[in-house]
Structure 1
Amino acid sequence: MLKPRSGARRLSISWLALTGSAAAALIPAAALAQPAATAQDPVVHGRAGVEEIVVTASPIGRSRYDVLQGTSVLSGEALDRALSASIGETLDRLPGVSQTGFGQGASRPVIRGLGGDRIRVLVGGIGSIDASTTSPDHAPAVDLATARRVEVVRGPATLLYGNNAVGGVVNVLDGRIPVEQPEGGADGLVRLGYGSNADERLAAGALDVGLSPNIVAHVDAYWRKTDDFEAPGFVRSAALRALEEEEHEHEEGEEHEHEEEPRGRVENSNLEQKGATGGLSVLGDWGFFGASVSRNETNYGIPAGHEHAEEEDDHEEGEEHEHEHEHAPVRIDLEQTRFDVMGEINRSFLAFETVRLRFGYADYEHAELEGDEVGTRFLNEGWEGRMELVQTPVAAFGGTQSGVVGLQMSDRDFEAIGEEAFVPPSTTFQAGAFLLQRLDIGALALEAGARFERQTVEAAAIGFDRDFTGISLSAGAGYTLPGGWLVGLSLSRTERAPNAEELLSNGPHLATGTFELGDPTLGEETALGAEATLKYASGPSFGALNLFVTNYDDFIYGRFTGAEAEELPVSQYIAADARFWGFEIEAGTEQAMGPGALVLEASAEYVRATDRANNDPIPRIPPLSARASVGYELPDLAGRLELVWADDQNRAGPLELATEGYTVLNASVDWHPVADRDLTLLFEVRNITDEEVRLATSYLRHELPQPGRDYRIALRAGF
């Protein structure tokens, strides 16, 4: 029999991963949690029924089937299959999650249509501390090559992680700070991979070593390199080419030189990534305390250029000429050095049983290279810290009361230097205090919480200094029904302060092909949300349905005005009332069939977002989509066929083109060549039919398709 994969192990430090809203974890952990595999359980391909997966949507650990919000986890072989060059592409297979699609080098997650500064990307519970929320062409300083687990909470996680988590949280757990002694004195993993489409090469490894009974060391490193990727057909969409042709036809009396349309290879889409981490922890019966230092470097191309015209005086001829300049291909050279500290003390004092501490500091810089010249440099130095005090459970109201109080602070010193510095230098300081209280009475669970937050944005160079105060509230109730069913409802009121980019932008932003204008008078946006959930987990089957609706007052987003500045369309940040609503549904089962098991899974998702003030669609919202897979698993071999479908997105934002849907077929085979060893060979074909895929969530959807057919092979070894 095979050992359960790492994805099946219960995490002993659940507080490190994503902490969601107060209503995210309302049901007793034992109510729906499935037992972990034992030596007597019939294990098929590294799994035993529905795995017990603890999702830290609350400081009190929960099974993902106990959590009222939509949650997803990638670990073990599921993570190996999804692993891609960017975090956005890796998570794109999860319900309710899409990506910004800015090429192989830069793609952030989009959750329920929300992205940018509304989604927090965390590393072990602390922000990525980079410039990725400033622009979709800026990659998060996070790589999943050495990740053990990735967790996603869909919906507001504001209460515990601040106003920047109003749309959700993604947390990467890579074990850079050890929290327990490795079995046998050492454990680790190795990943090797190759993808044919972009000639992608990957090598990564991680190792934990017990230096003494109380000291554990950690090291990891990764390297990835790709060439330009191949796309089916023309690089630019048929809709964009038809629009330009129509514009040329209306320009009577002018001659237009038609250049050959690029197709196939997407130029300047290659990348190289590398990084390493070292960590050390001291362990004891009192808890643990550790620290780590990491270094990440990435160099990648932005696979879309923009032309603009400039007028210059020809002093010799006395004539004025209009010259058209095409910028050299832009590359981003990114580097980050990061320091992390983490600790937990399990000693009761006053009304508390556990103290948890987390701190991270990072020095980040990236240069936007135009040919051999540095066009713009982005500098971001910041830190973030949090402390949680977990209360000792006590008897109350005929049940059990528990809770947590906490503090969180962060500071960001951001500067852009160069001709395309569309945002002035700024500092942002945030401080928040939160409280959660939970009451379990039999099958009923009630929870409520609040967060008070203060944010200051200052740009001394232009004399700008504003303070914002936000109060977020959340409450929920859940009830465990017989037979493995959970039903619940959560309500939230969140406030989000505008960030420096929304307040202060004023200049050309060639990566997105826009001239961005902020509004220094913007106030806080307020969201009232409700989410209903129905979940089922029993034996080998599971299912979940989440329905959500959120009404925003003064929702902040960039809206095209129809005007142009420096030959670029103007995108003005505005505040308008908006409504987001939608659903996610997923189900699966594993049924014994012959010597193995038949595995069926399916999911669907939809979000509709409308600017109620103007009665227009919010731009870059994903369309209705669905996914279905069928697989057959033996103890040493498994095959899987997956179909992904997305509808047309005809609800494009004002002055934007609609996006066509697509149907993609994927297939994979997992082979475990050695019994009783965590060794997997993965053979995969993505986009078997070489379908043209354009993401409605991407600024570049009509200039940049997704990669075409890709044959992949990967090796993962755990020890």
Structure 2
Amino acid sequence: MNIQRTLLASAILLAFTAPAFAESADGKIQQVIVTATPFRTAEGDQILTPAKVLAGDELRDKVGSSLGETLSQELGVSASAFGAGASRPIIRGLEGSRVKMLENGMATSDVSGLSNDHAVASEGAVSRQIEILRGPAALLYGSGAIGGLVNVVNERIPTALEEQPTGQLESRYSTVDNGRNVSGSVDGAVGKFGLHADGNWRDAGDYRIPGHRVLGDADSASGRLPHSDTQEKSAGVGGSYIDGWGYVGASVSHLSNVYGIPSDEGSRIDQKQNRYDIDSLVKQPLPGFESFRFKAGYTDYQHAELDDQNHPATIFTNKSLETRAELTHHPVAGLHGTFGVQTENTHFSALSTDGGPDTVPQTHSKSTAAFLVEEASAGPVRLSGGLRLENVKREPVANQARDFNLTSGSFGALWPFTPGYSVGATVSYAQRAPAIEELYSGGPHDATLTFDVGNPHLKKETSRNIELSVQKTSGLLRWKANLFRNNVNNFIYGHITDRLLDDEGNPGAEFRERLFEQANAHIQGAEAELGYNQLGAGWSGRIFADTSRGKLDQGGNLPLQPADRIGASVGYREGAWRGGLSLVHARGQDRLAEFETTSTPGYNQLDANISYTQKLGGQDLTWFLLAKNLLNEDIRMSTSVLKDISPLPGRNFVLGVRTKF
């Protein structure tokens, strides 16, 4: 449409020409600290481990009903878009078990990596910040982080004492789905004890879609998308003892999430998780060492896949115990680093409730890893290196046990060739053990309408990645650009065949056969982003673009590849008022895998926001209005299994109020 092309051009032009009216109070753009790195460095220092941190107003504007929706417009990140309840981040075309989900630096231990219909068991509405890491630092958190990691930080275990109670409370209403959401958190202290509590409640109905449900079918249903509703409740409490030597604390949380799957079958998922964590830090534990940190987390996860009569068809369970110990040493011979050990012990199953074939049999997995990361300087050049050695064992109750020895390593260099400008390069070598479902699946998966067949003889994946980066890191106008290529030997993917099976695995007409296979593959791409005065008063702007290509070396494309995108935004902040407009254009995606049949059309997504903050006593009260998909476009995500029958929501207005104290 001409109006859409005009809007796109105007937004890009404004992003480049916004005048320099004001800076932040100290003349600098505020930096955010990345917690999921060994040295807790600032976001702007992450050229060796490219990162993005969503926090503050930016996070509140983007937070959605799922982690995928919240992060879907970040550089190099797309979403699986499996309805409103389940959408997982996809980083540089890699998804599932190759992208690790963390909460406060520990694995979420859900089963979202197994299939796109499974929601991530972490709530963004109560998070303080969400971190995206791609590259070498991500490998320190496990071999499953070949594609990167996402860390949701809610600080349930306090690490500092508050002088007086602080917190926030937010309520919002969305028009597209009659959605209501209330969330909040509070922190305080009693003597040397820090205390925290948070909670979230969400209730949303089926959302409205712009046109017809089935792509290209004018006779299909319109109005609201069936089975796109979601109801979620979560709560968490934590406390810690904090003194000059460090801290020790614990937390407990519960999540309950019931949501629909907008497939033809219309199944639902009833998800529950209880989580228990401890975290401790000792400063100067021994001569020559800065700190010792120990963390442990136990999760008891379960979800039931319900049929159209709300009867459980398959029960997924995962009980996991993870520990992590880190020791950071003072600089020695110019080297400053952290080394540690990590263990994980899980019991996972996906069992049929009617005596039919189990989707995944009961399987016990154990992993033990040691890791090391060091930083040094050679004149003006900063050097970073890391190594991880890991052993993973898979022990099913009725199949072949497997044992994998994995090695991951990385090396990077950063050269600030002139003040405010840097160029860097990283190379990494990473190995991943096949996931449980890739090895041992052997039954129907109702939500995806596939009959999954694993291969117990799969080999470990081996990834060789190189990345080149350049960026401008100071001043109101900042930019960065990345080029990357990832060669993966024995890449594991689900191949959907032409065979149709029943729920017993016999010839039928309900389930598509999906075989887990291996082949050499490569993924390459580029990203660029330019930002102007992102956090200061006055005008601000941003423009970004990203592209990636995933192909099998033997010929053909990898499935569910993201579309090429370009986006632009402008904003204005002055006194109590703040507002902005953003537009993302995605090209049509016709790079299909052998078994994919339909291309994905391009789209333009226009969003806007405006807010006003007033003082009410000693509190800040912010009234806000968010507008999403203002053009009411029929948006289909090429990364979604349901793209042909499940468009994204139509035009949506979100009205809300937030208070901070």
What TM-score do the two structures reach when normalised by structure 1?
Answer: 0.85
Q: Does residue 557 of structure 2 align to residue 617 of structure 1?
A: yes
- Contact 1:70–1:546 at 8 Å: present in 2 too? no
Q: CA deviation at 1:47?
A: 9.4
Q: 1:175 aligns with which of 146, 150, 155?
A: 155
Q: CA deviation at 1:445?
A: 1.0
- Contact 1:87–1:107 at 8 Å: present in 2 too? yes
Q: Which residue does the alignment assign to 1:427?
A: 364
Change in 2 beyond 3 A, CA 1:587/1:43: closer
Q: CA deviation at 1:627?
A: 1.0
Change in 2 beyond 3 A, CA 1:550/1:47: farther
Letter aligned with residue 119 of structure 1: V
- Contact 1:156–1:167 at 8 Å: present in 2 too? no
Provide, for residues 603-658 of structure 1, a one-character-per-residue CA deviation record: whole Å limited to 9, x for no partner. Answer: 11011000112x10000010110110112221211221111110011101112121
1 CA distance for matches of 2:73 and 2:621? 24
Q: Which deviates more from structure 2 when the two are superposed, residues 682-691 or residues 538-547?
A: 538-547
Change in 2 beyond 3 A, CA 1:518/1:436: same
Q: 1:574 aligns with which of 517, 524, 529?
A: 517
Provide, for residues 334-362 of structure 1, a one-character-per-residue CA deviation record: whole Å limited to 9, x for no partner. Answer: 11111000010002414322001111101
The 3-state SS of whatever aligns with 2:374 is strand
Matches within 5 A, 1:513-592: 513-566=449-502, 567=509, 568-590=511-533
Q: Which residue does the alignment assign to 1:452?
A: 389
Q: Does residue 221 of structure 2 align to residue 262 of structure 1?
A: yes
Q: Which residue does the alignment assign to 1:130?
A: 110
Provide, for residues 471-508 of structure 1, a one-character-per-residue CA deviation record: whole Å limited to 9, x for no partner. Answer: 11111111113231111100000011101100111222
Q: 1:104 aligns with which of 78, 84, 90?
A: 84
Provide, for residues 104-146 of structure 1, a one-character-per-residue CA deviation record: whole Å limited to 9, x for no partner. Answer: 1111111001111111111100011112122111111111111
Q: 1:365 aligns with which of 302, 326, 340?
A: 302
Matches within 5 A, 1:389-538: 389-394=327-332, 396=333, 400-418=334-352, 419=356, 421-460=358-397, 462-538=398-474
Q: 2:544 aligns with which of 586, 599, 603?
A: 603
1 CA distance for matches of 2:148 and 2:130? 13
1 CA distance for matches of 2:37 and 2:56? 23
Q: Does residue 199 of structure 2 align to residue 221 of structure 1?
A: yes
Q: CA deviation at 1:715?
A: 2.1
Q: Which residue does the alignment assign to 2:263?
A: 304
2 CA distance for matches of 1:158 and 1:592? 27
Q: CA deviation at 1:671?
A: 1.3
Q: CA deviation at 1:156?
A: 4.9
- Contact 1:427–1:457 at 8 Å: present in 2 too? yes
2 CA distance for matches of 1:218 and 1:48? 34
Identity %: 35
Provide, for residues 195-233 of structure 1, a one-character-per-residue CA deviation record: whole Å limited to 9, x for no partner. Answer: 100111111111111111x11111111101101001111
Q: Which residue does the alignment assign to 2:18?
A: none
Q: Which residue does the alignment assign to 1:286?
A: 245
Which of structure 1's runs of 4+ aligned residues deviate more than 3 A?
41-44, 46-49, 155-159, 675-679
The 3-state SS of whatever aligns with 2:86 is coil
Structure 2 gaps, min length 5: 1-20, 503-508
Q: 1:191 aligns with which of 170, 183, 197?
A: 170
Q: Does residue 149 of structure 2 align to residue 149 of structure 1?
A: no
The 3-state SS of whatever aligns with 1:182 is coil
The 3-state SS of whatever aligns with 2:401 is strand
2 CA distance for matches of 1:641 and 1:58? 32
Q: CA deviation at 1:679?
A: 3.5
2 CA distance for matches of 1:470 and 1:390? 24
- Contact 1:452–1:472 at 8 Å: present in 2 too? yes
2 CA distance for matches of 1:349 and 1:156? 28
The 3-state SS of whatever aligns with 2:70 is helix
- Contact 1:388–1:404 at 8 Å: present in 2 too? yes
Change in 2 beyond 3 A, CA 1:512/1:436: same
Provide, for residues 15-46 of structure 1, a one-character-per-residue CA deviation record: whole Å limited to 9, x for no partner. Answer: xxxxxxxxxxxxxxxxxxxxxxxxxx9765x9
Structure 1 gaps, min length 5: 1-40, 243-259, 307-328
2 CA distance for matches of 1:384 and 1:714? 38
Change in 2 beyond 3 A, CA 1:157/1:558: farther
2 CA distance for matches of 1:337 and 1:442? 50
1 CA distance for matches of 2:91 and 2:341? 26
Q: Does residue 190 of structure 2 align to residue 211 of structure 1?
A: yes
The 3-state SS of whatever aligns with 2:167 is strand
2 CA distance for matches of 1:536 and 1:205? 37
- Contact 1:525–1:553 at 8 Å: present in 2 too? yes
The 3-state SS of whatever aligns with 1:538 is coil
2 CA distance for matches of 1:155 and 1:437? 15
- Contact 1:120–1:127 at 8 Å: present in 2 too? yes
Provide, for residues 147-190 of structure 1, a one-character-per-residue CA deviation record: whole Å limited to 9, x for no partner. Answer: 1111101245453111111110100111100110113x211111
Q: Does residue 611 of structure 2 align to residue 670 of structure 1?
A: yes
Q: Does residue 657 of structure 2 align to residue 715 of structure 1?
A: yes
Provide, for residues 73-105 of structure 1, a one-character-per-residue CA deviation record: whole Å limited to 9, x for no partner. Answer: 111110111011011100112111111101111
Q: CA deviation at 1:369?
A: 1.7
2 CA distance for matches of 1:97 and 1:655? 24
Change in 2 beyond 3 A, CA 1:714/1:155: farther
The 3-state SS of whatever aligns with 2:360 is coil
- Contact 2:326–2:341 at 8 Å: present in 1 too? yes
- Contact 2:469–2:481 at 8 Å: present in 1 too? yes
Q: Which residue does the alignment assign to 1:38?
A: none
Letter aligned with residue 180 of structure 2: R
What TM-score do the two structures reach when normalised by structure 2?
Answer: 0.92
1 CA distance for matches of 2:495 and 2:310? 34
Letter aligned with residue 82 of structure 1: K
Provide, for residues 314-347 of structure 1, a one-character-per-residue CA deviation record: whole Å limited to 9, x for no partner. Answer: xxxxxxxxxxxxxxx3111111111000010002
Aligned positions, number: 627
Provide, for residues 260-291 of structure 1, a one-character-per-residue CA deviation record: whole Å limited to 9, x for no partner. Answer: 52112011111110111111100000000000
Letter aligned with residue 427 of structure 2: L
The 3-state SS of whatever aligns with 1:486 is strand
The 3-state SS of whatever aligns with 1:65 is helix
- Contact 1:686–1:711 at 8 Å: present in 2 too? yes
- Contact 1:355–1:390 at 8 Å: present in 2 too? yes
Letter aligned with residue 286 of structure 1: W
Letter aligned with residue 336 of structure 2: S
- Contact 2:399–2:440 at 8 Å: present in 1 too? no
Provide, for residues 449-473 of structure 1, a one-character-per-residue CA deviation record: whole Å limited to 9, x for no partner. Answer: 211000000111x132110000111
2 CA distance for matches of 1:369 and 1:350? 57
Larger Rg, first or second structure (1 or 2): 1
2 CA distance for matches of 1:203 and 1:422? 36
- Contact 1:66–1:486 at 8 Å: present in 2 too? no
The 3-state SS of whatever aligns with 1:618 is coil
2 CA distance for matches of 1:130 and 1:520? 22
1 CA distance for matches of 2:301 and 2:36? 28
The 3-state SS of whatever aligns with 1:79 is helix
